[in-house]
Chains A and B, each alone.
Chain A
């Protein structure tokens, strides 16, 4: 059982993630944007953060990721980034390539598939501190 923070501006993504993760006994908190997510993270001290790539702005998810990595208390929490291909930002994600500059530990495409999500969550919760992808070149934009 772990504490997981889900950050997405879409109610249905939050509800789906919650339902799936609660079915395995995890404790879930949700936030609707990067700023609220950051505040929530400071209080909740999650073991894992699930973060949407695009919220209030096209880069809200990226900014939130950098914010977590720049905070001493939060920087070692694994981040699973949710993406949707063909988004407006035209970005297509690739773990090997983008993991090098985005400080997140895994990308996962929507729609959410329970088995996949649960498997990734288990894997990321077991990630050793030294294997967390903290480094991302700052200000990629």
Chain B
């Protein structure tokens, strides 16, 4: 467990209270298992607003225990001072002889975290400090999450920008060649740049569509219509899109789905799932290969198994499969285009249905995906 010591400032004009709180908290250790932290305090004390002002200039405090009535002012004034001058995260507990509601509300408005009414004993102090310490650690953790979120978003956008810029650069380079008549005056000489430019545009369109699919799944703001779907029908539509590519490579797509197999699910999600799986199984297959797709219902589970006879995935590449924009780069995949988002989309859909996805693969032999979705 991590030992952490936090600075705590007690502000009270009564010597007895300052000494009492110091005695209660100076050897007090609080264990927070959830945060893997043992927390203790280094206690400072001040008898007036003026003294406190000087101390907070010299030290950073995470916790304050402040008496409302001070000889040269009041606790609210001190809270306002903290709001103005202190940038670090802190929590303040206010002490008062009178627990009147207006005072409590006013203190809370000025940022007081908790309120203790005099007279109080060691237990009240310990319990108030415990609450404050726990909340403090929560705030810290929240801040870390926020920072992580920003970093992940930044990374995502940087990669996306790169992915969008590469095709634009490629197309612009080809256009520059054409503009400069570098391959002569005949348009026929420019077939290759034209074909490549069109390919890059198609890839970019696929990336944009995949990106829209991905955000569609991630955002919960859309209406998620659940309806009865015939899986066979979805498969038929999917085959219509991928049969041409399969034919080019002489790949046979077999599927075993009960014609009457009906599931309650969101149509566009199931279409995305099936399309992405079939598309990968065809793209990463070898010439004359096969794709076998089976779907069956077991209780509340829809089990899908898709097996291809393709290039396979190396062991150490498997854990990268579902990451956004991760594409396995090697000799076998260099001529296969993809957005790098297909399997992230599949994974997100599987998560929507509280399902699971497993991969078995052997390089050069093929890949098998096991998918299980909970279909209520």
Is chain B a partner of chain A in the same complex? Answer: yes
The answer to the question of B162 belonging to the interface, with a C-beta cut-off of 8 Å to chain A, is yes
Residues of B within 8 A of A126 (CB): none
**Known: A56-B329, A86-B165, A114-B182. Is A12-B159 also a contact (CB below 8 A)?**
no
Total B residues in contact with A, Cβ cutoff 8 Å: 25
Give the bracket for the number of chain A residues in contact with chain B.
20 to 34
Q: Quick check: A19 and B177 within 8 Å, CB to CB? A: yes
Interface residues of B in 166-185 (CB under 8 A from A): 166, 168-170, 172-174, 176-177, 180, 182-183
**Known: A19-B182, A114-B182. Is A86-B173 also a contact (CB below 8 A)?**
no
The answer to the question of A127 belonging to the interface, with a C-beta cut-off of 8 Å to chain B, is no
The answer to the question of B260 belonging to the interface, with a C-beta cut-off of 8 Å to chain A, is no
Within the complex, which residue of A12, A13, A84 is in contact with B162, where a contact is CB–CB below 8 Å?
Answer: A84
Q: Quick check: A111 and B159 within 8 Å, CB to CB? A: no
Q: Quick check: B176 and A113 within 8 Å, CB to CB? A: yes
The answer to the question of B2 belonging to the interface, with a C-beta cut-off of 8 Å to chain A, is no
**Known: A19-B177, A111-B170, A111-B173. Is A32-B158 also a contact (CB below 8 A)?**
no
Q: Quick check: A111 and B192 within 8 Å, CB to CB? A: no
Within the complex, which residue of B158, B161, B192, B329 is in contact with A15, where a contact is CB–CB below 8 Å?
Answer: B192
Residues of A within 8 A of B196 (CB): 11-12, 15
B159 to chain A, nearest CB (A): 6
Residues of A within 8 A of B155 (CB): 88
Residue of B155, B173, B334 with most chain A CB atoms under a 10 A cut-off: B173
Residue of A at shortest CB range from B170? Answer: A12
A16 to chain B, nearest CB (A): 4
Residues of A within 8 A of B180 (CB): 114-115
Q: Quick check: B176 and A86 within 8 Å, CB to CB? A: no
The answer to the question of A67 belonging to the interface, with a C-beta cut-off of 8 Å to chain B, is no
Interface string of A66-108 (1 = CB under 8 A from B): 0000000000000000001011101000000000000000000
CA distance in complex: A56, B155 (Å): 18
Residue of B169, B183, B196 with most chain A CB atoms under a 10 A cut-off: B169
Q: Quick check: B170 and A32 within 8 Å, CB to CB? A: no
CA distance in complex: A16, B170 (Å): 8
Q: Quick check: B158 and A111 within 8 Å, CB to CB? A: no
Q: Quick check: B193 and A88 within 8 Å, CB to CB? A: no
Q: Quick check: A13 and B170 within 8 Å, CB to CB? A: yes
A131 to chain B, nearest CB (A): 28
CA distance in complex: A20, B200 (Å): 19
Q: Quick check: A87 and B162 within 8 Å, CB to CB? A: yes
CA distance in complex: A110, B168 (Å): 10
The answer to the question of A112 belonging to the interface, with a C-beta cut-off of 8 Å to chain B, is yes
Q: Quick check: B165 and A16 within 8 Å, CB to CB? A: no
Interface string of A1-36 (1 = CB under 8 A from B): 000000001111101100110010000000010000
CA distance in complex: A85, B183 (Å): 28
Residues of B within 8 A of A19 (CB): 177, 182-183, 193
Interface residues of A in 46-67 (CB under 8 A from B): 56
CA distance in complex: A87, B180 (Å): 28
CA distance in complex: A12, B199 (Å): 11
Interface residues of A in 109-126 (CB under 8 A from B): 110-115
In the complex, besides A84-B169, A110-B169, A114-B177, 13 extra interface pairs with C-beta distance below 8 angstroms are A10-B170, A11-B196, A11-B335, A12-B173, A15-B196, A19-B177, A19-B193, A86-B161, A86-B162, A90-B158, A111-B170, A113-B176, A115-B180
Can you name 10 A-B residue pairings with CB atoms under 8 Å? A11-B335, A13-B170, A16-B170, A19-B183, A56-B329, A84-B166, A88-B155, A111-B173, A112-B176, A114-B177
